[in-house]
Amino acid sequence: KINYIIPAAGQASRLNGIPKFLLPVSKKNYLLKFHIELIKKTFLEKNVQIVIGTNNINSEILKNLYPDLNILEFESNSMVETVIKSQKDFREEESVYGCIMPDTYFSDHEIYSKMYKKIQYLDAVVAVWRIGEEQVGKLGQCDIDNSDMLTNVIDKNPECKLPFFWGSLMWKKSFNKFLELEDQHFGDTLNRALEKGIKIGVVYAEGDYFDCGTFEEYKKLLNKEIS
């Protein structure tokens, strides 16, 4: 069973309150729709459940757009807190969990399949992209060993020289014990698990990755996809 969490509880303060997940990427598509359709397409023959954790501002919008999905409304101060609270209605059986931010877009549409193949023999897997110069200090950069295993995450450090950042996470139920409400970033969770000896695999994504939390990054996406 696959439980996918989409954290959408942020206030979008950098975009003056505009719901980032509704930003269009083409005439017929927008960010959240892209992720939901990709998850469903990837796991077409699997038992997949999608949960969106959101706030009271966006819950009605999401419930109207996706009446077939589980939309949970609550207050949250971080992505990790949203993920923890979004799990309350999940099945108790052994499952694979996935998480993706709805204000992102990437061109590698096979990345979830790559992650799912690798998670079969690990507790967690991250997908990584090669970082662009303008992205340094804005994302969680990854230290990776020669066997493609994660060894450390450095979050939002403009001095960091590591060439890759992580942009998607998949894990098994055994990894949930490392999630703590106090974590401001998933890098805190990942590093805690690594310190306890958990093996976290890495899969390499191809193509571009856009974090559309700012108008500048969103404009880069539009120029790339629509021009």
Q: What is the pLDDT of residues 48-63, one digit of tens each?
A: 899 999 998 899 999 9
In angstroms, what CA-CA distances link 219 with 75, 124, 137, 224? 29, 33, 19, 9
Strand partners, 155: 140
Residue-wise pLDDT tens digits, 105-116: 999 999 999 999
pLDDT value of residue 227: 46
Lowest mean pLDDT segment, chosen from 10-14, 89-93, 161-165, 187-191: 10-14
In eight-state DSSP terms, residue 177 is G
**Across the chain, what does the average pLDDT equal?**
90
Q: With a threshold of 0.85, does the pTM exceed it?
A: yes
Q: Is the pLDDT reported for residue 144 higher than 60? A: yes
Other beta carbons within 10 Å of 18: 12
- Count Cβ neighbours within 10 Å for each residue of 117-127 and write b for 16 or more, e otherwise: ebbeebbbbbb
Mean pLDDT throughout 126-153?
A: 96
Structure tokens, 10: 């942020």
